[in-house]
Amino acid sequence: MADVIVYSTPTCPWCNRVKKFLKEKGVAFVDKNVAEDKAAATEMITKTGGQIGVPVIDAKGTIIIGFDKAKLKNALGLTDKKPQKD
């Protein structure tokens, strides 16, 4: 199983932004549609202690509610590489 799970719905714009970001960074993830998959919805609610809004990201065991780019980068060990000046 992937190290990242995105709990989302098809109509959620922030969910789509999270998935686009992960794809751009080359991060493999599992997308769980909580609108259609009751077990995934229950799993998300259990992991978060009651959160019913999406997106919820499980990044290597770190739960991130909403698209918090800084927390997501930190959880995945992603850094912004800036070109060095000569």
**Quick one: pLDDT at residue 71?**
94
In this prediction, residue 78 carries a pLDDT of: 87
Cα of 2 vs its chain's centroid, Å: 12
Domain regions of the chain by residue span? 4-74
Whether the predicted model's global pTM rises above the 0.85 cut: yes
d(CA 52, CA 43): 11
Mark out the alpha helices in the chain (DSSP H runs). 13-24, 38-48, 69-76
Q: Looking at the domain that runs over 4-74, which CATH code has it been given? A: 3.40.30.10
- 70 versus 79: which is more confidently predicted? 70
Can you say how many angstroms the Cα of residue 49 is from the centroid of all Cα atoms in its chain?
17
Two tokens, residue 86 = 């000569």
Query: Hey, which residues does 6 pair with through a beta bridge?
Result: 31, 57
- Report pLDDT digits (tens) over 23-42: 999 999 999 999 999 999 99
Comparing 45 with 81, the larger pLDDT belongs to 45
